Amino acid sequence: MSSLEQRLRAELARLRAADLYRVRRVVGGRHAVEIDVDGRRCLNFCSNDYLGLAADPRLAQAASCALGECGTGSGAAALISGYNREHRALEEELAVFTRRPRALLFSTGWAANLGVLRALLDKSGTLIADELNHASLIDGGRLSGARYRRVAHRSLRGFDQALQAAAGGPAVLATDSVFSMDGDLAPLAELAVLCRRHDAALMVDDAHGFGVLGEGGRGALFADASRPLGADEVPVYMATLGKALGVSGAFVAGSEVLIEYLIQRARTWVFSTAPPPALAAAGREALRIVQAEPQRRAQLSAAVQRFRAGAAQLGIPLGESTTPIQPLVLGEERRVLAVSAALFQRGYWVAAIRPPTVPKGTARLRITLCATHSAGQVDGLLEALAVALRETAALETAAA
């Protein structure tokens, strides 16, 4: 056995012993609320498909039409021959929807964040970032070569101090809008004021807000109707299409100058094959549905409120999140795995989230609600969750 094999085997054994080993589960058919997982039919409460569009036949029909006309792939990077009219149409529609002059389509949110930060920063600059930002923002900042200043979660004082220390060089303050593991919101309006005061650029990753929050589902920048944030306050806006829109990909929206600069310098865009035109066509249909069917957001909000009210009645300790992301922090990895397994046996799929995805000691169930969850399904999850928590606690007591 080679030294490489020995080292990898030892690390895998360590992960298993620490209850940190991860296993993929296979989904059969459509990724919807009712889902087939490893051959077992269950209800899905861990998806980011917030508006229930991933299995909507209208998106499949739009993609199918584009497949017939444009084929399965784009064949090249966008600057070569891969830029299809479906890509251009989606970018134009996203720009109008987000009320920005331009938008640029990326293959993934990860590619967008890495590409933007590496393009905007170098060793002469500073990235100021919330400590709970998504890993793509963390890696993008590190790869940029800029000085990296992590700030305590949502600490306005910490951000102010970091911005003061960065004075004299280019600075970007990057933050999630909705934090993916906690569901809480960044203080975007206050951060915009700080960035303006210190002449820094604010970059917002709105992956979990786009399509869900704000006027017409335009995202977290519009969550406060009395204080929408314009392009001058948030010059760099990123959002994904693979969550509320139920498709795949991501985009960056901003000024004409920003988008033209990224076309020249965002390496993850320049050197990547353009997404299939059919995905762009499906994204356009999803964007149309978001605007035409506001009842989806109303149904989602009702599901979130019902779940939180039911959890309070049952004494299930949730955090302060008002978004579809409702974490139940259980602490120990073994405990969260046991509760997740107990739920799965009762027909509810809620994945266990463990380090390094979340900080050590904060392993959790990341429960997510969708517009297509019925009241009965939400109530059923609450009942199953209460039973699973009691049973797990009893087993832990017996083993102590």
> Considering all CA atoms of the chain, what is the largest pairwise distance in Å, rounded to the nearest integer?
65
The Cα 185–Cα 289 span in angstroms is 25
pLDDT in the model for residue 396? 81
Cβ-contact 243, 207 below 8 angstroms: yes
pLDDT in the model for residue 319? 87
Answer yes or no: 208 catalytic: yes
Which among 180, 248, 321, 340 is annotated as catalytic? 180
Q: Is 51 exposed, middle or buried (0-12, 13-18, 19+ CB in 10 A)?
A: buried
Which among 47, 243, 321, 373 is annotated as catalytic? 243
Per-residue pLDDT tens listing for the chain (400 residues): 799 999 999 999 999 999 999 999 999 988 999 999 998 999 999 999 999 999 999 999 999 999 999 999 999 999 999 999 999 999 999 999 999 999 999 999 999 999 999 999 999 999 999 999 999 999 999 999 999 999 999 999 999 999 999 977 899 999 999 999 999 999 999 999 999 999 999 999 999 999 999 999 999 999 998 889 999 999 999 999 999 999 999 999 999 999 999 999 999 999 999 999 999 999 999 999 999 999 999 999 999 999 999 999 999 999 889 999 999 999 999 999 999 999 999 999 999 999 999 999 999 999 999 999 999 999 999 999 999 999 998 888 887 7
Closest among 131, 218, 209, 140 to 175, alpha carbons compared = 131
Task: Give percent helix, percent strand, percent coil of the chain, each to the nearest 5.
Answer: 45, 15, 35
DSSP symbols for 42-66: EEE-S---TTS-TT-HHHHHHHHHH
Which among 208, 248, 340, 373 is annotated as catalytic? 208
> Measuring CA to CA, how many Å separate 63 from each of 58, 86, 296?
9, 11, 21
Query: CATH 3.90.1150.10 spans which residues of the chain?
Result: 25-54+294-399
Answer yes or no: 360 catalytic: no
The token pair at 6 is: 């020995």
pLDDT in the model for residue 236? 98
pLDDT in the model for residue 167? 76
pLDDT in the model for residue 169? 84
Query: CATH 3.40.640.10 spans which residues of the chain?
Result: 57-292
Answer yes or no: 177 catalytic: no
Could you tell me which CATH number the domain at 57-292 has? Answer: 3.40.640.10
Task: Note the pTM of the prediction, 2 decimals.
Answer: 0.95
Could you tell me which CATH number the domain at 25-54+294-399 has? Answer: 3.90.1150.10
pLDDT in the model for residue 340? 96
What single-letter DSSP state applies at residue 276?
Answer: P
